[in-house]
């Protein structure tokens, strides 16, 4: 049996899709800029039900933005003198099953991911399990809740377009790129 992607039907389907889309695949997802991130953070005071939730989502949004992370990649955090070390134990694109360390430095601005994470962790209740982001009732933050608050924040900020949680991962050229640790 040959390679499935070279079969007649798959080849014809790919050709047809390419013709329909004008010769290239279209990616309609928009990226989140630093300006939009600050708008999202500002809207949280109106979208969240209490100040703890504001700390939680501010930390989650800034970590996703500065780490270019998927929701499923939120994991261990360690603070160093000049940066925050993020351990990603598992990733959708990790073919070898090895962890990755990201170094995210302090920033002077209010959107600093390190300071926002520290503020959140100071408020976070102690829990026996390994979820980084939890609610006051100790239940973990879900992907649905993350997406729901993102959507409400975008609506409150008057932002329309194809912004989704994956938009935190789209690098625009003026976004910060985390460095890999050793």
Helix axes 143-156, 51-67, angle to 10 degrees: 100
Q: What is the pTM of this model?
A: 0.77
Supply the DSSP symbol for 31: P
Which helix (H) or strand (E) covers residue 74, if one does? none
Give residues with Cβ within 8 angstroms of 83, minimum separation 6: 103, 104, 105, 106, 114
pLDDT by residue for the chain (182 residues), tens digit each?
A: 566 666 666 666 676 666 666 655 555 567 788 888 999 999 999 999 999 999 999 999 999 998 888 887 887 888 998 899 988 876 666 667 677 788 898 888 878 999 999 999 999 998 777 789 999 999 999 999 999 999 999 999 888 877 877 777 766 554 455 555 55
């Amino acid at each position: 049996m040959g390679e499935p992607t070279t079969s007649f039907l798959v080849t014809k389907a790919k050709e047809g899709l390419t013709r329909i889309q004008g010769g290239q695949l279209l990616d309609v997802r928009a990226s989140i800029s630093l300006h939009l991130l600050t708008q999202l953070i500002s809207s949280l005071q109106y979208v969240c039900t209490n100040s703890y939730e504001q700390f939680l989502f501010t930390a989650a949004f800034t970590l996703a933005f500065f780490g270019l992370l998927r929701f499923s990649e939120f994991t261990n955090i360690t603070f160093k003198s000049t940066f925050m070390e993020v351990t990603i134990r598992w990733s959708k694109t990790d073919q070898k099953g090895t962890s990755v360390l990201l170094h995210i430095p302090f920033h002077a601005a209010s959107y600093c991911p390190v300071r926002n994470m520290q503020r959140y962790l100071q408020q976070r209740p102690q829990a026996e399990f390994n979820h980084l982001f939890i609610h006051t009732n100790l239940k973990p933050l879900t992907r649905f809740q993350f997406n729901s608050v993102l959507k409400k924040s975008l609506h409150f900020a008057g932002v329309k377009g194809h912004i989704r949680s994956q938009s935190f991962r789209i690098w625009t050229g003026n976004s910060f790129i985390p460095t890999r640790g050793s």
